[in-house]
């Protein structure tokens, strides 16, 4: 006896060995067809014939395989599982039962994005289970951070890179280093007080009132002689802006460039901590002239008395004594002239 499905042999029995009265017949292979044919040389009495097929959405000899079609409304071939619309995302091969290889998703030709810790993305959607690695964004982690941002989810603003350079999007480091006034790998930390410039290595100069210099340029907010205040003035000058002249310090030594004082003392008749000339006003000159005049008059009177006394004694004159008297008068007159010129 032979059984055919759609004209294709399903099962056969040897002559003289018919199936049992109740037989559960499985075809030797999965077949499709619209009719069932039983062929025998003997008389066959059929009480009932039941034909079982897979439910929609399932296929295979035992109907234990689920269809994986791109269109979820499509019914796959109940024998092969093949889908006319192609396989659903994440599956491949003819029966759409093989999942994509690790690291691929969708139609199994798209590579996963940048998942953290080398994790594999979802084979259907491409989404990374733990978010994106530093420097990447979007669900599939295939889009890099926009310029000026870095880190996980691109949530960190780049630091102060030299010449406005863009930082590396994964770790935030500046390829050319930090701009003047900034330090550390990501250039987010400003120079400490008292330092400025590239790598914060130059020290600030001598800013007025102990101000802190500009961390980028080193300039002092209220200045000294030059912008960075490292020029301690030219010799012979002192004070704010290097505008004041030193006084007459002893032996031409240099005065203090901050306050102008002479540490070694003064030359000649110069006075004060800065060894400046004595300033005399008009009233002071008049008073001095009166004092000097009175002193000279007194000296002249003394000299005349001395001359008269010597003249009246013994009738003789001591020439040397008279000469000394005249010299004393001359010296006093000369001293008076010098003092008046002051």
Instruction: Provide the token pair at 240.
Output: 């704010």
Express each pLDDT in 37-74 by its tens digit.
Answer: 888 877 777 777 777 788 999 999 889 999 999 998 99
Q: Is the pLDDT of residue 289 over 70?
A: no
Q: Report the distance separating Cα 295 and Cα 59, nearest Å.
A: 143
Question: C-alpha distances in angstroms, 323 versus 45, 67, 316, 326, 328?
Answer: 186, 148, 15, 5, 9
Question: C-alpha distances in angstroms, 341 versus 232, 286, 327?
Answer: 39, 11, 22
**DSSP bridge partners of 12:** 2
Q: Report the distance separating Cα 159 and Cα 47, nearest Å.
A: 88
Q: Give the distance, in angstroms, between the CA of residue 219 and the centroid of all CA atoms in the same chain.
A: 21
Mean pLDDT, rounded, for 149-169: 94
* Continuous segment of H or E residues that includes residue 104: strand 104-105
68: exposed, middle or buried (C-beta count within 10 Å: 0-12, 13-18, 19+)?
A: buried
Show contacts of 190-194: CB within 8 Å, 24+ apart. 190/215, 191/215
Q: Is the pLDDT of residue 80 over 50?
A: yes
Nearest 5°: phi and psi at 282? -60, -45
Mean pLDDT, rounded, for 307-322: 45
Express each pLDDT in 135-157 by its tens digit.
Answer: 999 999 999 999 999 998 899 99
């Amino acid at each position: 006896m032979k059984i055919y499905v759609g004209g294709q042999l399903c099962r056969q029995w040897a002559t003289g060995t018919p199936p049992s009265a109740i037989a559960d017949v499985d075809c030797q292979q999965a077949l499709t067809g619209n009719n069932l044919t039983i062929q025998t040389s003997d008389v066959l009495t059929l009480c009932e014939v039941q034909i079982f097929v897979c439910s929609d959405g399932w296929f295979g000899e035992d109907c234990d395989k689920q269809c994986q079609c791109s269109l979820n409304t499509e019914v796959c071939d109940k024998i092969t599982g093949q889908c006319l619309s192609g396989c659903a995302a994440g599956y491949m091969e003819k029966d759409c039962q093989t999942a994509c290889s690790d690291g691929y998703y969708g139609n199994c030709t798209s590579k996963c994005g940048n998942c953290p810790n080398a994790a594999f993305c979802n084979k259907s959607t491409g989404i990374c289970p733990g978010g994106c690695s530093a420097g990447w964004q979007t669900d599939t982690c295939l889009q890099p951070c926009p310029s000026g941002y870095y880190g996980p989810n691109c949530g960190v603003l780049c630091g102060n890179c030299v010449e406005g350079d863009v930082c590396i999007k994964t770790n935030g480091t500046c390829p050319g280093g930090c701009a003047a006034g900034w330090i550390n790998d990501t250039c987010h930390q400003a120079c400490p007080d008292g330092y400025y410039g590239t790598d914060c290595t130059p020290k600030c100069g001598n800013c007025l009132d102990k101000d802190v210099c500009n961390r980028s340029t080193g300039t002092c907010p209220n200045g000294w002689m030059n912008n960075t205040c490292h020029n301690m003035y030219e010799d012979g000058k002192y004070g704010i802006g290097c505008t004041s002249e030193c006084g007459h310090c002893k032996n031409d030594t240099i005065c203090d460039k901050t306050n102008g004082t002479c540490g070694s003392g003064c030359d000649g008749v110069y006075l004060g901590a800065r060894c400046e000339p004595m300033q005399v006003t008009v009233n002071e000159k008049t008073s001095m002239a009166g004092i000097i005049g009175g002193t000279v008059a007194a000296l002249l009177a003394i000299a005349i008395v001395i001359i008269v006394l010597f003249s009246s004694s013994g009738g003789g004159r001591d020439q040397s004594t008279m000469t000394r008297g005249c010299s004393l008068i001359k010296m006093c007159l000369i001293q008076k002239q010098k003092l008046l010129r002051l």
